[in-house]
Amino acid sequence: MSNVQHITTDNFQETLEQSGVVVLDWWAPWCAPCRAFGPVFERVAARHPDVTFGKVNTEEQPALAMEFRVQSIPTVMVIREKTLLFSQPGMLPEKALEDLVKQAQELDMNKVKQKVKPSAARAAEEAGN
């Protein structure tokens, strides 16, 4: 039985707010590499019931795809505590996806947020000038 969720604009924010690590597969039904990656994503998801795995159909959810600047599919993203940790277009080998999930779980998010906050503040200042 799969624990992969179908992610839409209706449940996206709720998914991020209620979950620790979220792994997203941005895909479309017509995309052959997306269909080939699907079983890999499902197998890794089955080994991590404590992680939220979600598939975002870019054909059905174009607003989400645009918001996250998805330009190529499949794209894999990892989000933890509402912080984007990883985003990469293309299929990932099963071992690489497995390693990515483990790394996201082991990260010290306090250190990550300290690094993200200064760069975000700097970008905001530059935008204001």
Structure confidence at residue 18 (pLDDT): 78
pLDDT in 10s for each residue of the chain, 129 residues: 468 999 999 999 999 887 789 999 999 999 999 999 999 999 999 999 999 999 999 999 999 999 999 999 999 999 998 889 999 999 999 999 999 999 999 887 777 777 766 555 555 555 565
Q: Is 34 a catalytic residue?
A: yes
On whether the 4-128 domain is CATH 3.30.750.24, my answer is no
Domain residue ranges of the chain, discontinuous segments joined by +:
4-128
Classified as helix, coil or strand, 129 is: coil
Terminal-to-terminal C-alpha distance of the chain: 53
Single out the catalytic residue among 34, 56, 70, 97. 34
How many degrees, rounded to 5, is the angle at CA 75 between CA 94 and CA 7? 100
Structure confidence at residue 1 (pLDDT): 44
Among 84, 93, 78, smallest CA distance to 33 is for 93
Single out the catalytic residue among 4, 31, 109, 112. 31
